């Protein structure tokens, strides 16, 4: 092989190396843009059924009352319902893994006013304002 041909091969190999590097950067950028788009689409409620976020959302919506992936029991007056700690965690920043670690059941409000008051205080400390409201409604109903 002549010197000119060898030099041309070296230049092409260097160019190919640069193209591979640029391609890798573009793939990373594309993945980041896709991630941001998926988050934006999820926020807007505009999801394709094949996206990860849509499938995750569909899975979560099908969990209510089912034992699939259940890791906590919600005790009601006449029965026990399966619950999911990650759903509780999603309801409040203060309902953390640490707070839920040793908890394996929640109890219904129908156990009396003192229980509802105690639960309302606990709910307020975890900033579970929806549960605080339910406790208030239960207490008002007993007056």
**Rounded Cα distance, 87 and 72, in Å:** 11
Taking all residues of the chain, what is their mean pLDDT, rounded to a whole number?
Answer: 81
Closest-CA residue to 126 (of 95, 80, 88): 95
Mean pLDDT of 75-88: 79
> How wide is the angle at C-alpha 127 spanned by C-alphas 123 and 129, nearest 5°?
75
What span, in angstroms and rounded, lies between the C-alpha atoms of 109 and 2? 89
Q: For a pLDDT cut of 90, what percent of the chain falls above it? A: 8
Q: Tell whether the model's pLDDT for residue 139 goes beyond 90.
A: no
**Choice between 91 and 14, residue whose per-residue pLDDT is larger:** 14
> Does residue 109 register a pLDDT over 60?
no
The set of residues, in sequence order, having a beta carbon less than 8 Å from that of 38 and lying 6+ positions away, is 47, 51, 52, 53
Is the model more confident about 94 or about 10?
A: 10
On the question of pLDDT at 121 being above 70, the answer is yes
Query: What is the pTM (predicted TM-score) of this model?
Result: 0.44
Taking phi first (over 0 means left), then psi (-120 to 50 degrees means alpha), and beta for anything else, what does residue 121 get? alpha
According to the model, what pLDDT value does residue 137 have? 83
Model pLDDT for residues 23-78, shown as the tens digit of each residue: 888 998 988 898 888 777 776 766 666 777 778 887 888 888 888 888 888 777 67
Please report the DSSP string for 84-122 in residue order.
-HHHHHHH-TTS-HHHHTT--EEE-STT-HHHHHHHHHH
């Amino acid at each position: 092989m002549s010197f000119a041909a060898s030099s041309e091969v070296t230049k092409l190999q260097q160019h190919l190396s640069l193209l591979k590097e640029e391609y890798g950067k573009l793939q990373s950028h594309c993945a980041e843009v896709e991630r941001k788009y998926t988050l934006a689409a999820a926020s807007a409620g505009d999801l394709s059924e094949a996206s990860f976020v849509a499938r995750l959302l569909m899975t979560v919506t099908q969990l209510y009352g089912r034992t699939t992936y259940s890791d906590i029991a919600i005790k009601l007056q006449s029965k026990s319902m399966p619950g999911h700690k990650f759903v509780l965690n999603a309801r409040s920043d203060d309902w953390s893994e640490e707070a839920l670690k040793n908890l394996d059941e929640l109890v219904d409000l129908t156990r009396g006013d003192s229980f509802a008051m105690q639960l309302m205080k606990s709910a307020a400390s975890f900033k579970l304002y929806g549960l605080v409201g339910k406790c208030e409604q239960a207490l008002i109903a007993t007056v």
